[in-house]
Structure 1
């Protein structure tokens, strides 16, 4: 008779996922507030139960094996469903973890006040915030690695049937140019010929590239990791950039740059179809407020 494998332990999956995220038993133990020996034992027991190594041990560094990478995807989904179930049986009382993804611009210019309000009203909600471009956020949402995301949906497209969305902010996108740049009526008027942008997957980058599509010669791209870097590059005269007005207003140097309005896009709060929790309802309320 074949040996029956023990059921997967959610606590062990949470430990496994934390070790995978931290790449270290020591850091995982600190984050989980457990002793290191307990974390090590639970990981080894999980490997024994599954009959396969989940980590490559390189000194103190823990890297996932191919089997570990597969399990991480399932662990994200199982733990997300478990949290959703906990919140579903406690309707009306926002508690527990809420994993929110956001574009960097939204996190910087729009979220501090509503998230402070959320914390004051519902301190039992453990909010985990991460930032990334729209495309990456949607991939993580569909994979159950996030519960909801704030993204700018590409113009002319609608969320697919697996997702639900609600508009929360309207962002005016501004083309920022070096100081003293002449007035702009179209792409051909813009110099220099380099566009400072985020990595591919950023909706705002796509908007700017579409606007410049007919320009001759074509715009070159300079990929940077923050709006501070983009504005500094523009101020230095080496590039132009696209920045939401709400972010531009945070910069003390905004008045030094030439500006040309491009378009307005909605920022949407997006979640998986059918996902419900009191914590998400509370977030939606403070965003509306």
Structure 2
């Protein structure tokens, strides 16, 4: 079995389509098809269900993808170890939830100190970011949670403690009125959404409407226009409240306190670039700079 076959198999599984995988790998489509067929012949089992909309892993394919990801991660780790030095260089892939308000300061400080690191940032909700770190697709990620939510394969560093608040437009509004408004939330897997659901459950409230929106900017713009209410960190909106643009409504600590954590795999080799990123995070934790005025 050729290692290249596993790279191709992984990419087809990720894209769910041979042509998209070939484009991502910069391969000829027929070459990708041949490699997958060769792998299936070698393993004596079909790895994909083929249909008009693309390709989906078979049960045997799902078994193989687990091993393929481990093998590929080990090879990539080996390359990192062989090329690593005390001076951080190379690629560092970080994920983050939308509302890490101090993240621009962390990135700026890190980039100024370690300009030879190719730093990339991916945004998402907590559940999918954890999954990407577990599957070696990200070196680390900022997620929401607490010590009780730790995954056994991950190490986590507490970055910040946040207070979540209910945010409405600047029309005078009571908590009882808020319960009747549409909820503007990030997609499923978001830690803030889970906390909000917990409060609603305990209050025995069934939301009239839940609207999933993709970005913090879209959610806040929709709140300002009176579309509904959201539940996000106070640090992200306190300057808007100070300007009288919105109202923030505080809930009991049980529902409002949440940690922002930085996670990475326990078993992965910690490169100098990742080690220095964690160090930079620790030095920025107590930074008292004001929130960014344009968020």
TM-score (norm 1): 0.75
Answer yes or no: is 1:159 the counterpart of 2:150: yes
Moved more, 85-94 or 120-129: 120-129
Cα deviation digits, residues 129-184 of structure 1 (max 9, x gap): 43332233334433444432211114x725244321112234342320132224x6
Q: CA deviation at 1:19?
A: 2.2
Q: CA deviation at 1:258?
A: 1.3
Q: CA deviation at 1:188?
A: 4.2
Query: Is the Cα contact below 8 Å between 1:87 and 1:278 reproduced in 2?
Result: no
Q: CA deviation at 1:242?
A: 0.8
Question: Distance in 1 between the 2:263 and 2:136 partners?
Answer: 13
Q: CA deviation at 1:269?
A: 0.7
Residues 249/72 of structure 1: CA separation in 2 closer, same or farther (3 Å cut): farther
Query: Is the Cα contact below 8 Å between 1:172 and 1:245 reproduced in 2?
Result: yes
CA-based RMSD: 3.5
Answer yes or no: is 1:41 the counterpart of 2:34: yes
Match of 1:148 among 132, 135, 140: 140
Partner residue, 1:207:
195
TM-score (norm 2): 0.74
Cα deviation digits, residues 78-134 of structure 1 (max 9, x gap): 21222223223334354455443322333xx44455446656665665555433322
Question: Distance in 1 between the 2:18 and 2:221 partners?
Answer: 39
Q: Secondary structure at the match of 1:67?
A: helix
Match of 2:97 among 72, 82, 103: 103
Answer yes or no: is 1:71 the counterpart of 2:59: no
Q: Secondary structure at the match of 1:239?
A: coil
Size of the alignment, in residue pairs?
276
Partner residue, 2:278:
284
Q: CA deviation at 1:15?
A: 1.8
Q: Equivalences for 1:133-144 in 2 at 5 Å?
A: 133-144=125-136
Q: Secondary structure at the match of 1:53?
A: coil
Instruction: Give unmatched runs, 5+ long, in structure 1.
Output: 1-7
Question: Distance in 2 between the 1:119 and 1:65 partners?
Answer: 43
Instruction: Give unmatched runs, 5+ long, in structure 2.
Output: 285-295
Cα deviation digits, residues 224-244 of structure 1 (max 9, x gap): 132344334433435321122
Partner residue, 1:3:
none
Partner residue, 1:5:
none
Question: Distance in 2 between the 1:211 and 1:273 partners?
Answer: 33
Query: Is the Cα contact below 8 Å between 1:83 and 1:97 reproduced in 2?
Result: no
Question: Distance in 2 between the 1:241 and 1:125 partners?
Answer: 36
